[in-house]
Amino acid sequence: MTARILDGNKIRDQIFAELSDEVRLLTSAGVRPGLAAVLVGENPASQLYVKSKIAACEHLGIASALLTPPATASTLDLLAVVEDLNRDNDVDGILVQLPLPPQVDTKRILEAVDPAKDVDGFHPVNLGRLVSGRPGLVACTPAGCMEILRRNEIKIEGANAVVLGRSDIVGKPMALLLMHANATVTICHSKTRDLPDIVRRADIIVAAIGKAAYVEPDWIKSSTGGGPGAAVIDVGTNRITDPEQAERLFQNFPGRLEIFRAKGSSLVGDVHPDAINTAGSLTPVPGGVGPMTIAMLMSNTVKAARLRRASPKFSATQSTASAR
């Protein structure tokens, strides 16, 4: 029995439809949400990611601006860019596309973003709000994973959940969101002992470690024991180019193998493709978590527009600007 596919594209479209209605209502009230993206240098992958985010803004009616400092930009240069965006009342969300060039202090730049405009959810203030269970802007990928679980009616409360990876961007906020939803959460990483046995006990698995096909099919609870198989959320996006590796991973997927041979590369998640035969449900790669990350970025931008304009600080800033 093959796993139920948790289609991220389908849920993204649902969220976009909801956001379109909300953007129309806000715009009719004189409030048009706005997102500013900062893209430093000419990294092709980063350019592609930002292009897709700007396209999503256009689709939803969200105002967008793209700032492109050169690859030689210093930390001070980028701090000045961020500060200008912090002061701009037409900008509700600030996205600093990572990675930044090596000469730039990435943490210093991210921490310079106004937490009220931190639509990536990376700022320590927003992470702190997440820890304490207070409302705030939540990191997009973990928030998207939660939407996949909820909209597919996968039971979270009381579930044993295993998060593979402990990054500030995915692993840690993911664990916190699952805990707030009353799951029992285990965080695993490179030093975890008996990892396969821990994963086998999970009702929900979130794989976010950045290693192609790392999670083997026999690590995953199947439905053969009578209960539902594990729900697997595969956050990994790993490009493979080795023909031998592709032959091993896609031996049961002739169609994917043919595409690899034609293109010379393929995207693979952190979970082995054969897990489709053991898991109860599974996000595909591509087409699973990836579309949800952009959907939640758009959602955070609209949310930031609502929250900022409802705050006394925003009203005071507007009054100061009009008095100049």
Sorted by where each starts, the structural domains of the chain and their CATH numbers stand as 28-117 (3.40.50.10860), 140-290 (3.40.50.720)
| CB-based burial label for 223 (10 Å; 0-12, 13-18, 19+) | middle
Which pLDDT belongs to residue 302?
A: 97
CA distance 289 to 285: 8
Give residues with Cβ within 8 angstroms of 204, minimum separation 6.
Answer: 149, 154, 156, 159, 160, 161, 162, 178, 183, 230, 231, 233
Tens of pLDDT, residue by residue over 159-186, are 999 999 999 999 999 999 999 999 999 9
- Whether 263 is catalytic is no
Return the axis-axis angle of helices 140-151 and 289-310, rounded to nearest 10°.
Answer: 110
Whole-prediction pTM value?
0.92
Half-sphere exposure of 324 (CA within 13 A, CB side): 5
Q: Name the 3-class secondary structure at 127.
A: helix
- Mean pLDDT over each residue of the chain, to the nearest integer: 94
Residue 97 among the catalytic residues:
yes
Ramachandran area for residue 18 (φ above 0: left; ψ -120 to 50: alpha; else beta): alpha
Summarize pLDDT for 262-314 with one digit per residue, the tens.
999 999 999 999 999 999 999 999 999 999 999 999 999 999 999 988 755 54
Label the pairing between strands 4-5 and 184-188: unpaired
Q: What is the pLDDT of residues 32-90, one digit of tens each?
A: 999 999 999 999 989 999 999 999 999 999 999 999 999 999 999 999 999 999 999 99
Residue tagged active-site, from 114, 120, 203, 234: 120
Three-state secondary structure call for residue 10: helix
**Parallel/antiparallel/unpaired status of strands 4-5 and 281-282:** parallel
Catalytic position from the list 53, 172, 221, 303: 53
SS3 161: strand
Residue with tokens 């970025």: 297
Q: Is 117 in contact with 91 (CB distance < 8 Å)?
A: yes
Q: Structure tokens of 107?
A: 């943490």
> What's the pLDDT tens digit per position in 8-22?
999 999 999 999 999
Segment 101-135, tens digit of pLDDT: 999 999 999 999 999 999 999 999 999 999 999 98
Q: What is the pLDDT, as a whole number, of residue 226?
A: 64
- CB-neighbour burial class of residue 184 (10 A; exposed 0-12, middle 13-18, buried 19+): middle
For residue 89, the SS3 value is coil
What are the structure tokens assigned to 194, written together? 């008996």
Residue 120 bears catalytic tag: yes
Rounded-to-integer distance, Cα 267 and Cα 286, Å = 7
CB 314 within 8 A of CB 320: no
> Which tokens belong to 246?
């592709």
Catalytic residue from among 92, 97, 221, 234: 97
